[in-house]
Amino acid sequence: MITHGNGPQVGSQLLRSEAGSSQTYTLPLDVCVAMTQGEIGYILQTSLQSILKSKNISTPVAGLITQVLVDKHDKAFLNPTKPIGPFYSKEAAQKKKDELGWDIVEDAARGYRRVVPSPKPLDIIELEIIKDCLEKGIIVIASGGGGIPVSKENGTIIGVEAVIDKDRASALLANQLDVECFIISTEVEQVYINFKKPNQTAIHKISLEEAKKYLVEGHFLEGSMKPKIEAAIDFLEGGGKQVIITDPEHIVAALDGQTGTHIIGRSPL
């Protein structure tokens, strides 16, 4: 079961929509999420198919456009926090804010980015379809970019202008599938406390309680490691056993316990 992000891609879709607004129809944010799900899912699907074929493995791969239920009254709509699109200089970001009315924040000391509402994911609409595929031995690519945010009104599904955090949605999906090990692939080999400070320390193995303690102490930045730790906590509190956070190059070594950050859930009574 594979999920993925779409922050830069959905931001690019919005830029294309705005740049071409004089010649074609503009795209709402939920449609941009759907388009990037198809785009990235296609690239992952064909890449996996090629690799599996080269190893004489006949496992099928399917990409699934996925909707994720949110509450349209979620307080996130009053406080946009989810970064999307490219990084800007302070001057360029201020120009976007003035001209387009964007909400802009500094993102983890890497530059300035647009932020949009990021409501809490409540349910995966296509969950039963995903389960059916997995039971048939299909590798599934789903819930891309956190899923297309939708709400239900009088029994009808309606798209919502927002972006769901990919890590929180992935944790929800992992819990609903009764997954034991949830792997978050990111830019760093291990998670750090006191990040980019003289006393920076890599974390190899911690408990759920320690992860919550470090989160409260402010060791993890918004738009960077904080949502990943929050997703890890969600997953473990939802019944998962282990979360591994590492970069793509070290996933195999991390699964063997040699590296990565391992967050362990509560032991059964």
Average pLDDT on 85-101 reads 86
pLDDT bin (cut points 50, 70, 90) of residue 268 is very low
Average pLDDT over residues 217-240: 92
Residue 95, domain member (yes or no): no
pLDDT at 82 > cutoff 70: yes
pLDDT value, residue 267: 53
Write the pLDDT tens digit of every residue in 152-162. 998 899 999 89
Tell me whether residue 99 is in a domain: no
Of residues 129, 141, 170, 124, the one with CA closest to residue 61: 141
Tens of pLDDT, residues 8-54: 898 889 888 878 888 988 888 999 999 999 999 999 999 999 999 99
Percent of the chain whose predicted confidence (pLDDT) is above 70: 98
Same domain, 36 and 158: yes
Same domain, 160 and 29: yes
143 to 34, 37, 51, 100, 112: CA distances (angstroms): 10, 8, 22, 29, 26
Out of 104, 135, 165, a domain closes at 165
Task: Verify that 224 and 146 share a domain, yes or no.
Answer: no
Domain that holds residue 209: 180-269
Q: Could you tell me if 153 and 37 lie in one domain?
A: yes
| Eight-class DSSP state of 2 | B
Q: To the nearest whole number, what is the mean pLDDT of the chain? A: 92
> Are 262 and 133 found together in one domain?
no
Q: Within a domain: residue 174?
A: no
CATH of the domain at 253: 3.40.1160.10
Q: How confident is the model at residue 269 (pLDDT cuts 50, 70, 90)?
A: very low
Same domain, 224 and 152: no
Q: Select from 248, 225, 245 the least CA-distant residue to 236.
A: 245
Token look-up 């530059």 returns 111
The burial class, CB within 10 Å (0-12 / 13-18 / 19+), for 209 is exposed
Summarize the confidence of residues 122-136 as an average pLDDT: 98
